Structure formats: C-alpha cells, structure tokens
Amino acid sequence: MDPILKRLREILSVPGDRVGKARRISAAIRETCGYRWVGICEVLPEGIGVMAWSGPTPGSEIAVPVLGATAGQVVGLLKVEGDILSEEGRRRLEACAALLRPLWE
C-alpha cells in the first residue's frame, strides 16, 4: 500500500473536526509526496472555499475532484503544486481524493 494512503486512512480514523483533519491531511500529502503546496478546498454553491493548506502560495498546480455520494457531485478539490506532476503522481492524488469523501459526510 502506498504510504500516503495509509497515512490518510490513519488521520481519517482518529476522532476530530473535519478542518483539523484537512489540515493534517494537507500537511501529510505535502511532506510525504514532496509538493510545494497542497490545499483541500470545499465546493459550495457560491464558489470554492479553501478548508486547509500547507505550504507557500501556489504557482502552477493540478486539481483533483473529491466526489460526493451522488453520481457526478463534486464536493471538494485536492489541489497541489509541484515541480513535476507525473502520471503516477496524478493517479496517487486521485486515490488520495477518493479517501477524502468522509470529510463531507
């Protein structure tokens, strides 16, 4: 199992508020995967709101949707900035985003 996925499962399993968990998750992804910036954002009817971030202000980035329980519903975004975002990195981020849905349940 990918170490970051294991770490995210650990963070999500511990009791606590969702913003605190989001902060720990963004820091864990940043530190484990070596990104300059990681943000977890909430998709609201009035726009996108940042829940937590780790690192300096982003430059170029990739955003991966966090899908809700309803088909096609995007509830959040996992956004990262890094020097090189590979195909493997994209797949890893998609797996991380899939684990984040409990923050919105």
Nearest to 76 by CA among 26, 28, 39, 40: 40
Q: For the structural domain made of 3-104, what CATH number should be given?
A: 3.30.450.40
Q: Per-residue pLDDT for the chain (105 aa), expressed as one digit of tens each?
A: 699 999 999 999 999 999 999 999 999 999 998 888 899 999 888 888 877 888 776 567 788 999 988 878 899 999 998 876 778 888 999 999 999 999 988
| Whole-number Å distance between alpha carbons of 83 and 89 | 11
Residues 6 and 72: their CA atoms lie apart, in Å, by 26
| Domain edges within the chain | 3-104
Q: What is the pLDDT at residue 97? A: 94
> Can you state the percent helix, strand and coil of the chain, rounding each to 5?
40, 30, 30
CB-based burial label for 21 (10 Å; 0-12, 13-18, 19+): buried
Q: Could you tell me the pTM of the whole model?
A: 0.86
